[in-house]
Amino acid sequence: MSSFTPGFRGRARPLADRLPPGQYPTEQFPVLSAGPTPRVPTETWAFTVTTEDGRTHRWTWDEMMALPQQDTVTDIHCVTRWSKFDTEWRGVSLDAFFEDVETAAEYVVVHSYGGYSTNLPLEDLLDGKAWIAHAYDGYPLSPEHGGPARLLVPHLYLWKSAKWVSGLQLTLKDEPGFWESVGYHNYGDPWREQRNWGD
């Protein structure tokens, strides 16, 4: 049985009210990557949550697909200034993965197949704010867009929604990821235009 999550829009608002400052709307879904596109078969894909004391929780593809699935419609915003409205995703809420995880950590480093990483406060992944998404617009997520599964954190710039996600490392202190270590903002709120460290 699936549930529907309306994302972060609440009641329908005019498109202009949904466009963060400095962004432009697009019907396209541009593909931007820092390196080659990993091709990860679902047969070997796995997702882990590792706590600050080294305890690892692991899910195979089939185990993830057996968790409660959610359909989510939300706007997404890229740091390169494009925004796409009403994108349709299917996946598993991060809350489902954390049901049996005990942690005192406040931060997360997200790791991806291919070596990419990004950092977030843990609170930005819980309480219905983030998903491991495996389908987009009714189809399995393509490798170019992060398939077989990517993190989806739509209230932050899209680089925080790491493609080809492989796991979360819980940490007691904030540890910048790939783009953050070369000058991108540590948090990435599109409504505050947090693109670079000085923003």
The CA distance from 174 to 170, in Å, is 10
The CA distance from 106 to 124, in Å, is 10
Q: What is the per-residue pLDDT for 163?
A: 96
pTM of the model: 0.90
Considering the domain boundaries, does residue 7 fall inside one? no
The CA distance from 106 to 63, in Å, is 26
Q: What is the per-residue pLDDT for 30?
A: 76
Considering the domain boundaries, does residue 8 fall inside one? no
Residue segments in the chain with a per-residue pLDDT below the cut of 50: 1-10
Angle subtended at Cα 119 by Cα 118 and Cα 120, rounded to the nearest 5 degrees: 135
Q: What is the per-residue pLDDT for 8?
A: 45
Whether a cis peptide bond, with omega within 30° of 0, leads into 6 is no
Q: What is the per-residue pLDDT for 13?
A: 65
Considering the domain boundaries, does residue 105 fall inside one? yes
Residue appearing with tokens 């829009």: 9
CATH code of the domain in which 169 resides: 3.90.420.10
The CA distance from 61 to 2, in Å, is 18
Considering the domain boundaries, does residue 88 fall inside one? yes
Q: What is the per-residue pLDDT for 70?
A: 98
- DSSP symbol at 26: -
Considering the domain boundaries, does residue 120 fall inside one? yes
Side chain identity at residue 34, one-letter code: A
CA distance readout (Å), 7 to 56, 68, 127, 164: 29, 17, 12, 22
Considering the domain boundaries, does residue 98 fall inside one? yes
Q: How many domains are there within the chain?
A: 1
Phi, psi values for residue 122, rounded to 5°: -60, -35
The CA distance from 4 to 131, in Å, is 13
Q: What is the per-residue pLDDT for 35?
A: 72
What is the three-class DSSP state of 21? coil
Considering the domain boundaries, does residue 70 fall inside one? yes
What's the domain range around 85? 47-192
The CA distance from 132 to 97, in Å, is 9
Considering the domain boundaries, does residue 90 fall inside one? yes
